[in-house]
Amino acid sequence: MRPGRVGAKMKPTANPKMRLLLATFSFPPNKDGVAEASAACAQALRAHGWAVDVATAGPASLAPCAEGQGITLHHFDIAGTGHVRHPFQGQLALYRQFLLSGCWDIIFFEGYSWPLTLAVPLFDQISARKVVVSHGYGALVWTPVPRFPFGLGALTFSVIQSLKMLHWIRKVDRWVFLSPRADLCSFYDHWLGQKIHHPGIRVIPNGLNPNQRGTGSRFREACGIPADVLVFLCVGYFSRGKNQRLALEAYRDAAVPNSRLVFIAPESNEWMDKCRDVARHVPWSAAHRGVIWLTGQSRESTLDAFAGCDIYLSASTGETQPITLLEAMREAKPWIAMKAGCIPELPGGRCVASRRAMVRTIQRLASDRRLCAELGQSGREAVASKYSAKNFEKAYGELVMSLVNQRS
C-alpha cells in the first residue's frame, strides 16, 4: 500500500503548517502489516494538510526523498531486535541526532522496535508531543522452540522490556490501540496502560478504502484456475508465528473437491520450503487440485487474489488485527482464522481454536455457499463502516487536534 492510496482526500483542518514525524521500523515497499499500517497512518495525517516526515529502515545510500506530496522519507541503516544476542546496529547515532535536531510538533512511533527504543532516553530533550501506536504486545506469550533455552530467553527479555516501560510510558502523550481489548496475551500493553490509568489511551482500528478492490477474473486467468474451482487464499510472510503449515495440513485433511489453495508471500524462505516439503511428501486426496505458491507479487496482483478467492485462511497465532483479514472482508470473502488478538471481534468469518476445528470449518463453508455469502456481506459492511479509511483519517485528525488544543 503506497502513500496516497488509502482513502479520499479530506479538507485540511486547522494548523496546516504543523510538521509531524512518523517513526516506523517498516514502511513500503515492504509488504508486512506494520508497513501497511504505517503507510495508512502517514497518508491519514497528510490528508488533513499537515507535512509528514517518515523515519524508517533502509540502506544508508538512500537519501531523504519525497514519497507523494507532503510526505518525505528518511532512511536509516539500522537492524537488530534489541535483544542482547541481536542488538541494534547501524546508524544509531545518526537517528538520535535526527530526532534531536528536528522541529516537529508531534512524533508518532509505530510499534516498539528501534525507532521508539532509541528515542526513549531522549524523551526529556524532545519537545514534540509523543504518540505510541501499538500493533500488539505479547510480553507474556511464550513461543516454544526446539533448541535451548526453548524460547525462554526471548520471553524473559520481553518481560524485562515491559517492566522498563513503566519508567517512561507516562512521558507519552497518547497511546493508540487497535481494539478495546486488553488482555495478558496480544494486548498486554493495553492491559498495562489501563492498570496504571494512562490518561492518553485511544482506540483507533485499522482502516481501508472500501473501493480499493481487485479483479478476480484476472487473478484466476493468471494462475490458470477455472471459474468453477473453489479457491482458498493465505497471504503473509512464512514464519513459525504465521503458522502456514497448519493451514496447509487443515486444507489437506478437509479434502474439499475441486479446490485449490493459494499461498502468497513477499519472498521465499526456509519456512516456505518446509511447507513445500510437507505438500510434496504427504498423501493428497484425488479430489484436490493442489497448491499454488506465489512470491514477489505486485500490490495489484495481491488485490486481484483477494477478489478472486472464495475463502480466506489464516492459521497465524501472533496476530492482533490483521489487515489481510480486513482486505478479505472488503472483497466480501468469508474467512477462517485461528483465535488471536482481536480477530474474534471481526465479523465476516469463523474463529477456530485447533487444526481439527479448522478442518471442520473449511468443510462447512465449502459446502454452504449461502453461509459464505452472508458472512462475506457482513464483513464487507463492517469495512464500509467501522474499518474504513474515512473513519481512520477522522480519528487521527481528532487525535492530533486534541494534542494541539491541549498545548494551547
CATH number at residue 323: 3.40.50.2000
CB 102 within 8 A of CB 115: no
pTM: predicted TM-score of the whole model, two decimal places:
0.87
Residue 240: predicted pLDDT? 86
When pLDDT is averaged across residues 140-158 and rounded to a whole number, the result is 75
CA–CA dist 320, 129 (Å, integer): 26
In the prediction, which pLDDT does 225 show?
Answer: 94
The set of cell numbers assigned to 125 is 530533550
194-228 pLDDT per residue, tens: 999 999 999 999 999 999 999 999 999 999 999 99
Same domain, 321 and 381: yes
Query: Which amino acid is it at 266?
Result: P
Task: Provide the pLDDT confidence category of residue 13 given band limits of 50, 70 and 90.
Answer: very low
- For 143-159, what is the mean pLDDT? 76
pLDDT band at 2, cuts 50/70/90? very low
d(CA 70, CA 221): 38
Same domain as 360, residue 399: no
Q: Are 343 and 322 in contact (CB under 8 A)?
A: yes
The average confidence (pLDDT) of the chain is 89
H/E element holding 314? Answer: strand 311-314
pLDDT at 56: 96
Task: Please name which of 108, 42, 43, 113 lies closest in space to residue 76, comparing C-alpha atoms.
Answer: 113
Q: Are 338 and 249 in contact (CB under 8 A)?
A: no
Q: Are residues 222 and 198 in the same domain?
A: no
Q: What is the pLDDT of residue 1?
A: 37
Q: Residue 81: its pLDDT value, please?
A: 82
Residue 148 and residue 79 share a domain: yes
pLDDT at 284: 66
Give the pLDDT of residue 4.
37
Question: For 368-378, what is the mean pLDDT?
Answer: 98
Residue written as grid cell 510538533? 105
Distance CA 143, CA 242 (A): 12
What's the average model confidence in pLDDT over 322-346?
Answer: 96
- 119 within domain boundaries: yes
Q: What is the per-residue pLDDT for 234?
A: 97
Q: Are 181 and 259 members of one domain? A: no
**Cell numbers at 395, concatenated:** 480519528
How do residues 86-126 score in pLDDT, each as one tens digit? 899 999 999 999 999 999 999 999 999 999 999 999 999 99
On the question of pLDDT at 173 being above 70, the answer is: yes
Give 299-327 pLDDT, tens digit per residue.
999 999 999 999 999 999 888 899 999 99
Widest Cα–Cα separation across the chain:
70
* Cα–Cα dist 365/347, whole Å: 15
For residue 38, give the 3-state DSSP assignment: helix
Contact 95, 76 (CB under 8 A): yes
Give the model's pLDDT for residue 283: 67
Assess whether 36 and 57 both reside in one domain.
Answer: yes
Cα 229 to Cα 309, 386, 405, distances in angstroms: 10, 32, 56
**Domain check: are 203 and 265 in the same one?**
no
In this structure, is residue 4 part of a structural domain? no
For residue 331, which amino acid is it?
A: E
Residue 257 and residue 287 in contact, taking contact as beta carbons nearer than 8 Å: yes
Q: How far apart are CA 155 and CA 12, in angstroms?
A: 44
Q: Is residue 183 part of a domain?
A: yes
Residues 369 and 251 in one domain: yes
Residues 185, 211: Cα–Cα separation, whole Å:
34
Checking if the pLDDT of 15 tops 60, the result is: no
The answer to whether position 55 is within a domain reads: yes
* Whether residue 177 sits in one domain with residue 135: yes
Element housing 265 (H / E): strand 259-265
Same domain, 61 and 185: yes
| DSSP class of 101 | H
Nearest to 379 by CA among 352, 353, 354, 343: 343
CA dihedral of residues 338, 340, 159, 34 (deg, nearest 10):
110
| pLDDT for the residue 66 | 57
Asked whether residue 374 is assigned to any structural domain, the reply reads: yes
Q: How many domains does the chain have?
A: 2
Q: Report pLDDT for 285.
A: 63
Same domain, 338 and 392: no
Compute CA distances 119 → 112, 255, 265, whole Å: 11, 51, 32
% pLDDT > 90, the chain: 74
pLDDT of res. 6: 37
Which carries the bigger pLDDT value, residue 241 or residue 395? 395
| 248: in domain | yes
239-292 pLDDT tens trace:
988 999 999 999 999 999 999 999 999 999 999 999 999 888 766 665 566 899
As a whole number of angstroms, the distance between CA 86 and CA 78 comes to: 12
The number of C-alpha atoms within 13 Å of 211 and in the hemisphere containing its C-beta is 4
Full domain range(s) for residue 77: 19-209+388-407
Helix axes 270-281, 244-254, angle to 10 degrees: 20
The number of beta carbons lying within 10 Å of the beta carbon of residue 144 is 9
For 219, which DSSP code?
H
Mean pLDDT, range 331-357, rounded to an integer: 96
Q: Is residue 318 part of a domain?
A: yes
Whole-number Å distance between alpha carbons of 102 and 100? 6
User: Does any domain span residue 163?
Assistant: yes
Nearest CA-CA partner of 242 in 352, 327, 345, 338: 338
Burial class (CB in 10 A: 0-12, 13-18, 19+), 125: exposed
Those residues with Cβ within 8 angstroms of residue 363's Cβ, 6 or more apart along the chain or in another chain:
254, 256
Do 170 and 265 fall into the same domain? no
Cα 408 from Cα 397, distance rounded (Å): 17
